[in-house]
Structure 1
Amino acid sequence: MDIQFSLLDQALIRYRTSTRQERHATLPELLAAFNADEVSDFPALRPHQRHPWHAFLVQLAAIALHAANRETPFETAAEWHAALLALTPDDSDGAAFALVAPDDRPAFMQAPCERGASRTWKKRIATPDALDMLVTSRNHDLKAQRMVHAEAEDWIYALVSLQTQEGFLGAGNYGISRMNGGFASRPGVGVVPNGRWGKRWARDVQLLRRNRDQIAKTFGLKKKSGVALVWLQPWDGASSLSFSELDPFYIEVCRRVRIQAQGETLSAIATGSKVVRIAAKERCGVTGDAWTPINVAEGKALSITAKGFDYKLASTLAFSSEYEPTIARTLLDDDGKEGVFILAQGITRGQGKTEGYHERRIPITAKMRRLMLKQKGDEIAEAAKERIGEIADVRKTLWSALCALLGNGDQNVSDDTKNKANHFARAFEQGEDRRFFDDLAREIDADDRKSEEHDQWLLALADRASGVLEQAFVAGPRSAERVYRARGAALSRFHVGLRSEKAPPRMARVLKQRNEARKAAQSESFEEVSDGSN
């Protein structure tokens, strides 16, 4: 079998420039374009593949630069070509960066096996989306096996996605080391600077290079001569690599798969393994990954639930000390003062399925940036925590009022009524989720954020909850007698609840002040009318 579809020598990867011009590039040409920040996006890259593709390109560049003893990225494609080829001295013909190569040679993201071994493998895969890890979703997010007219780049992205973020899928199908268990995920959290793909890539490469020795020391990885490109190592499916053998920037593979070519048409063939490729179960995903948050108290990598990066988790990851900040979350002076945000990405996995791809952008204003650079992010975390608690209190009061409305004002509430109330209360919270960080930013940026800005937000929060309650009137009882009773009970429970001793003291205070101001205004208006009539 010949070496075919080389990423080093064939322009297999499409990208678009800032002027929306579409170009085809080799892998070295792409890295050179990144260095010039010319890449706007990748037309064939699917959303759930964005993080693994970014992480792969950052890790690969960091590995190549370290091997070349160079601090800054190469500027030309020829330099990148030489640097990447130097990483595979036993395969100087570039087989390790080709999609198709003989079984006993490494191919791109494909570990070598015995010559001719793949002929006995049973699992044949006709399309790249069937190879990609999201096939386990059973069409939950994307229809499976639809890419019948796939190009080589589709297989490139599918391989990177499978080999660097897949989990456990039954005996013989083991997952990666960089996640907390086989049913977890590999989330990515990091700062995105003002710029395009190359800007973020360059900053993350810089951060990895800067933290290399610390990663090796903290996580017990090899500073020198460690296994960096795991797919170069032969794998018979019966042996695992020790975690301590790895390079701090290691790029792993977790499945035994080989790409095959029939003319210009590609397909894949795969088989299971008896053991995981990297023996690191006891590490619970704590591997020195630059983008994976680690829970400080538990000592485990983050695993997202079906809620994804809701406002509670996102604010914790962005500002709180509950999770160790990822290397990529470090703010740099040249990130820019505007247009900077923290990006959280990940797939929720379950037993034999996925529960959605999740992505969240958390804007970082100029003032937030200054606080974070001065290690004062706790001020932002405290403001976010206070708001989260107040939203929860208002949601609870709203839910109680909804139960009164939908239960016809009765004291005993059925499960069906509770479920209906949950529907409306959830809609309220989802609305607050969508606007949470914009509202938080306004408070942080305000000169007097401890009083006026927060007070105005509290009033608006109460008004939005009241609006949801009124919208629910249409789902309440229809008869005149019951309508009066149910709506009266709901409104009473809502307004009294926000002003009771159990309500947030600040909420009760600002509502009282607004009511007094309105009464005073009405009184003045009445006096003016009375004076005019006299």
Structure 2
Amino acid sequence: MNLLTDPIFRVRTPDGPVTACLPELLALLGHDRVDSLTGLQRHQEDAFHIFCCYLAGAVLVRTGESSPQQTADFWREGIRQLTQAEGCADDSAWTLLVDDPTKPAFMQSPASSRAVFERDYKPDATTPDALDVLVTSKNHDKKMSRAMTGNFEAWLFALISLQTTVGLLGRGSGGGMNRGIGRMNSGYGSRPRVGWFPGMRVGVQFARDVSVLLCHRQVLLEAPYPYASTGRILLWIPPWDGARSQALDSLDPFFIEVARRVRLLSVDSRIQAFASGSATNFIAADQLKGNLGDPWTPITQRTNGALTVPESGFTPELLRNLIFGDGYIPATMQQPDDSMVGGWFSASVLVRGQGKTDGFQNAVLRVPDKPRLALFGCRQSRDRLTSLSKKGIDTASAMHYKALRPALFSLLEGGPESIVVDKAEIAKWVDSAVKPFVLNWNPRYFDWLWTTIDIPNDTEALRPWFDELRQLAQETLNRATERTPQRHGRSYRAKIKAQGIFFGSLKKNFPQFVEVTHDQP
């Protein structure tokens, strides 16, 4: 299956479903003729998008062009020229199955000899989803090894997903480790895609991101980055024995990396993946902590390493910090074009853990025109919005930890004179009882924040947010009051005491918003 000539991709277009080879797909994307890719799973979309953008950017640079709106023939010829310049005279580097393991196959590095292949490579996966990066705890969340083994498109997407986003995962065959990519902060990190969407169509995002890549290229060719303008791009073409790493100064800024020694072969008319571990990472960049200039990856200022998203995912606080650059250097793709009116801030990642994944996390925030102008316009407007966004997070945190949680502890403990917060069984119940409050305020935070643009006074801007949080917290406490296990003799006391603690905390922590009357406790 040759990606440059065979129609492997199932594409929904405005004119109906079609099948396309890779050059035809790039042409469709450039002209915004793609509604969706039928076989692409959500957790694979980011890896495939990044792959297409880097490939298109590399071809455009090598051919001296700048527009991503090109014909299929242009992309096919450009990819072949790029491949030949990197040492592969035929299309084997774009063929999914190549019988000779000493020749490159698509995103599959060749072995130095057939003897090395037979010695190091062992059977690894018989279905594409077993090869993919989506490892689930005890195989419960998403059953593995379900996909059809002969589905070339599924194998292709699994390969790109693996080689673009995989991290460290135990010991492999051949005595080495299953290592991860270079554009990631450690083997247990994650590779995010953070940026600005001018629209939700994949073709619009492709054209915009390729253009940003080309503008960003000169930055990556200057210090502190060590890249070479004529460096390698298709890293799976030369043999890799797993013992030596590629130096960054031998690579082009748009290099498309591979992390694992993997080969797909036809065994008894079925596709099977063979794999081997490696003694070292493919790219010698451990000390850089994933800070390799990837334009979709924010940098953590404290560590100067690539963003690693925690198991909690994109919380409002993390999204707020990424948007306003509080503790993070924003990704290049976060800067919107001057011509944009509104748009979407998007952040997504497959969160990794030690030997597992902690779930695919995705957040897309609509940013209307006025907030966008405040974010990227004059410094005074941005500074005020930054300050208000922090106050909004602090208000939600105080409502959670200083008002609602103490009231819930008192409720379950029967209304004691002083609550005890270190009882594990009670703390677990409180954690469960408080979830509705957290789940309800999280999606409302940015909707409130964008409304503050037209309210000049900070206290008045925060008042609607406080009122909404107080209502959510009160509803959460009322729901807990109805469901909590209590001793019958202390039930009334527990309920009254919990409400008293809740209101007293509001009065203490939010005096500017709480008006005390004789009707209130």
Q: TM-score, normalised by structure 1?
A: 0.90
Q: Does 1:342 align with 2:350?
A: no
Change (3 A) 1:138 1:415: closer
State the shift of 1:141 in Å. 4.2
Separation in 2, partners of 1:330, 1:412? 48
Partner of 1:145: 145
User: Which of 412, 428, 431 is equivalent to 1:422?
Assistant: 431
Instruction: Give 3-state SS (helix, strand or coil) of 2:112's partner.
Output: coil
Change (3 A) 1:263 1:438: farther
State the shift of 1:56 in Å. 0.6
Separation in 2, partners of 1:254, 1:136? 20
Instruction: Report if aligned partners of 2:414, 2:487 keep a CA contact under 8 Å in 1.
Output: no
The one-letter amino acid of 1:108's match is F
Separation in 1, partners of 2:109, 2:371? 45
The one-letter amino acid of 1:91's match is C
Instruction: Give 3-state SS (helix, strand or coil) of 1:269's partner.
Output: strand
Instruction: Report if aligned partners of 1:221, 1:247 keep a CA contact under 8 Å in 2.
Output: no
The one-letter amino acid of 1:241's match is Q
Separation in 2, partners of 1:141, 1:180? 26
Partner of 1:94: 91
What is the aligned-residue RMSD (CA, Å)?
2.1
The one-letter amino acid of 1:16's match is R
Change (3 A) 1:264 1:25: farther
The one-letter amino acid of 1:431's match is N
User: Which of 387, 394, 402 is equivalent to 2:408?
Assistant: 402
Instruction: Give 3-state SS (helix, strand or coil) of 1:217's partner.
Output: coil
Query: Is the deviation greater in 64-73 or in 430-439?
Result: 430-439
Structure 2 unaligned regions, length at least 5: 172-176
State the shift of 1:119 in Å. 3.6
Partner of 1:360: 363
Partner of 2:450: 441
Partner of 1:114: 112
Query: Is the deviation greater in 131-140 or in 296-305?
Result: 131-140
Instruction: Give 3-state SS (helix, strand or coil) of 1:509's partner.
Output: coil
Instruction: Report if aligned partners of 1:477, 1:483 keep a CA contact under 8 Å in 2.
Output: no
Partner of 2:241: 236
Separation in 2, partners of 1:211, 1:158? 29
The one-letter amino acid of 1:422's match is D
The one-letter amino acid of 2:134's match is L
Q: TM-score, normalised by structure 2?
A: 0.92
Q: Does 1:317 align with 2:317?
A: no
Partner of 1:528: none
Residues 345-389 of structure 1: per-residue CA shift (max 9 Å, x gap)? 112212111111111112211112112332644433322211110
Instruction: Give 3-state SS (helix, strand or coil) of 2:365's partner.
Output: strand
The one-letter amino acid of 2:53's match is V
Q: Whose radius of gyration is greater, 1 or 2? A: 1
Instruction: Report if aligned partners of 2:225, 2:292 keep a CA contact under 8 Å in 1.
Output: no
Instruction: Give 3-state SS (helix, strand or coil) of 2:96's partner.
Output: strand
Structural mapping, 1:70-469, within 5 Å: 70-89=65-84, 90-101=87-98, 102-116=100-114, 117-120=116-119, 121-135=121-135, 137-139=137-139, 141-171=141-171, 172-262=177-267, 265-334=270-339, 336-338=340-342, 340-374=343-377, 376=379, 377-396=382-401, 397-410=403-416, 411-413=418-420, 414-444=423-453, 446-448=454-456, 450-469=458-477
Separation in 1, partners of 2:226, 2:137? 34
Instruction: Report if aligned partners of 1:240, 1:275 keep a CA contact under 8 Å in 2.
Output: yes
Identity among equivalent positions (%) equals 34
Separation in 1, partners of 2:4, 2:506? 64
Instruction: Report if aligned partners of 2:136, 2:142 keep a CA contact under 8 Å in 1.
Output: no
Partner of 1:472: 480
Query: Is the deviation greater in 314-323 or in 408-417?
Result: 408-417
Separation in 2, partners of 1:246, 1:24? 33
Structure 1 unaligned regions, length at least 5: 520-534
Separation in 1, partners of 2:266, 2:277? 21
Q: Does 1:6 align with 2:6?
A: no
Change (3 A) 1:134 1:479: closer
User: Which of 43, 49, 55 is equivalent to 2:50?
Assistant: 55
Partner of 1:497: 505
State the shift of 1:468 in Å. 0.5
Q: What is the aligned length?
A: 504
Instruction: Report if aligned partners of 2:243, 2:279 keep a CA contact under 8 Å in 1.
Output: yes
Instruction: Report if aligned partners of 1:138, 1:353 keep a CA contact under 8 Å in 2.
Output: no
Separation in 2, partners of 1:321, 1:259? 44
Residues 138-191 of structure 1: per-residue CA shift (max 9 Å, x gap)? 425421111135511111111111111111112421111001101111111011
Instruction: Report if aligned partners of 2:392, 2:465 keep a CA contact under 8 Å in 1.
Output: no
The one-letter amino acid of 1:6's match is N
Instruction: Give 3-state SS (helix, strand or coil) of 2:135's partner.
Output: helix
Change (3 A) 1:149 1:111: closer
Instruction: Report if aligned partners of 1:406, 1:475 keep a CA contact under 8 Å in 2.
Output: no
The one-letter amino acid of 2:68's match is P
